């Protein structure tokens, strides 16, 4: 099977003023100094306010950091106060957008549905961007033995027809592992990632073998190597530990 090149993506969420770009500079310098160089793609998804500046900051010679966004609207433009389209994000320098993060699917906040996530993924492609589609079960769903059914339902409900390995990344993020310091066992991660791979191949044929499936939820330098070794884990989506260059570099080092 063709093994996809791993992706380690950092989601800064609603964190970071201009001064935070110094961490991006430190990350860039750290990557350039890494010997051996990590065998993975590296992405930072800052808040939308920093996107253009972040993209300029990593444009220099030898820089390999990709910039991504954290959300987009389904439409190109229009009367959607406060929203940002994929085309706008692309113009600002984004290469990908995280869609359907559990913080946006959460019923108590934005309550995004699979259908809305699918529309956003289509908007990403329309704008020439990759979609990083997040899926994952809550703690009560896992306890109730529903994790595999929930993940399958979200994947099939959020992944548009016509997905390609080049424009689609799936991030499995158990909601209960995000920001909690808890992680599933490697066997549990393998079970879910193997299922996602199977569903991708059923939907996309051989191209489904090349889609990157990231694990997200309390990834740290201390557990990155173990998680990256799990079957069908092709990288990580990292929240808290992406805010400091030293921590993020510690995770990326697992891919050297």
CB of 122 or CB of 218, closer to ligand PEP: 218
Residue 169 CA to residue 33 CA, distance in Å, equals 28
Q: Give min distance, CB of 199 to ligand PEP, in A.
A: 21
Question: Exactly one of 73, 87, 101, 112 is catalytic; which is it?
Answer: 101
Residue 63 CA to residue 176 CA, distance in Å, equals 34
CB of 211 or CB of 243, closer to ligand PEP: 243
Q: Give min distance, CB of 78 to ligand PEP, in A.
A: 29
DSSP letter for each residue of 113-169: -HHHHHHHHHHHHHTT-EEEEEE---HHHHHTT-HHHHHHHHHHHHS-TT--TTTEE
Residue 215 CA to residue 230 CA, distance in Å, equals 10
DSSP secondary-structure letter at 73? B
Nearby residues of 175 by Cβ (< 8 Å), 6 or more positions away: 102, 136, 137, 138, 139
Are 41 and 5 spatial neighbours (Cβ–Cβ below 8 Å)? yes
- Select from 173, 184, 193, 230 the one that contacts ligand PEP (CB under 6 A): 173
- Select from 175, 237, 245, 251 the one that contacts ligand PEP (CB under 6 A): 237
- Select from 45, 238, 249, 254 the one that contacts ligand PEP (CB under 6 A): 238
Q: Give min distance, CB of 135 to ligand PEP, in A.
A: 12
Short-list 105, 104, 215, CA closest to 169: 215
Residue 170 binding ligand PEP, by CB under 6 A: no
Is 73 catalytic? The answer is: no
Residue 221 CA to residue 2 CA, distance in Å, equals 26
**Encoded tokens for 132:** 């990083």
Residue 174 binding ligand PEP, by CB under 6 A: no
CB of 144 or CB of 179, closer to ligand PEP: 179
Residue 237 main-chain phi, psi, to 5 deg = -110, 120
Residue 40 binding ligand PEP, by CB under 6 A: no
CB of 27 or CB of 178, closer to ligand PEP: 178
Residue 96 binding ligand PEP, by CB under 6 A: no
* Number of residues assigned to the chain: 256
- Select from 31, 178, 228, 251 the one that contacts ligand PEP (CB under 6 A): 178
Residues 194-233, one symbol each (x = binds ligand PEP by CB under 6 A, - = not), give ----------------------xxxx--------------
Number of residues that bind ligand PEP (CB under 6 A): 13
Binding region for ligand PEP (CB under 6 A): 11, 173, 178-179, 216-219, 237-241
Residues labelled as active-site residues: 101, 173
């Amino acid at each position: 099977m063709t093994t996809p090149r791993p992706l380690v993506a950092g989601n800064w969420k609603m964190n970071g003023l201009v001064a935070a770009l110094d961490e991006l500079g430190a990350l860039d310098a750290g990557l350039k100094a890494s010997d051996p160089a990590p065998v993975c793609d590296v992405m930072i998804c800052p808040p939308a306010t920093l996107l253009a500046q972040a993209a300029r900051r990593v444009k220099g010679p030898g820089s390999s950091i990709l910039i991504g966004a954290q959300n987009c609207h389904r439409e190109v433009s229009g009367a959607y106060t406060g929203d940002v389209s994929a085309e706008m994000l692309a113009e600002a320098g984004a290469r990908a957008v995280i869609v359907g993060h559990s913080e946006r699917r959460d019923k108590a906040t934005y309550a995004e549905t699979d259908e809305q996530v699918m529309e956003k993924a289509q908007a990403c492609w329309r704008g020439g961007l990759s979609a990083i589609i997040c899926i994952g079960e809550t703690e009560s769903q896992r306890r109730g033995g529903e994790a595999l059914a929930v993940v399958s339902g979200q994947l099939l409900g959020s992944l548009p027809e016509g997905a390609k390995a080049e424009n689609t990344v799936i991030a499995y993020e158990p909601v209960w592992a995000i920001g909690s310091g808890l992680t599933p066992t490697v066997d549990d991660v393998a079970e879910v990632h193997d299922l996602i791979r199977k569903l991708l191949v059923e939907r996309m044929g051989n191209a489904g073998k090349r889609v990157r499936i990231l694990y997200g939820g309390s990834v740290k330098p201390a557990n990155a190597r173990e998680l990256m070794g799990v079957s069908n884990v092709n990288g990580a989506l990292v929240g808290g530990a992406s805010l400091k260059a030293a921590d993020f570099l510690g995770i990326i080092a697992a891919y050297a």
